Amino acid sequence: VDRKSVDERKKRPRTAFTAAQIKSLEAEFERNKYLSVAKRLQLSRSLKLTETQ
């Protein structure tokens, strides 16, 4: 298996955030550059996203 095909399988699709999600995320990152695990989970749930998105 060549390296390019291995790298392509690891990529996940880009997330298309809604305008409301972007607004909420930007507001939170204005307040806190680094989010705690708890805050990240809370934010992802409220925005209906996975934690890694």
Ranges of each domain in the chain: 23-53
- The whole-angstrom separation of Cα 48 and Cα 44 is 6
Looking at residue 5, its pLDDT comes to 62
Residue-wise pLDDT for 1-53, tens only, equals: 556 666 666 788 889 999 999 999 999 999 999 999 999 999 999 999 998 88
Q: What is the per-residue DSSP string for the chain?
A: --HHHHHHHH--PPP---HHHHHHHHHHHHH-SS--HHHHHHHHHHTT--TT-
Neighbours of 24 (CB within 10 A): 15
Looking at residue 1, its pLDDT comes to 54
Looking at residue 11, its pLDDT comes to 82
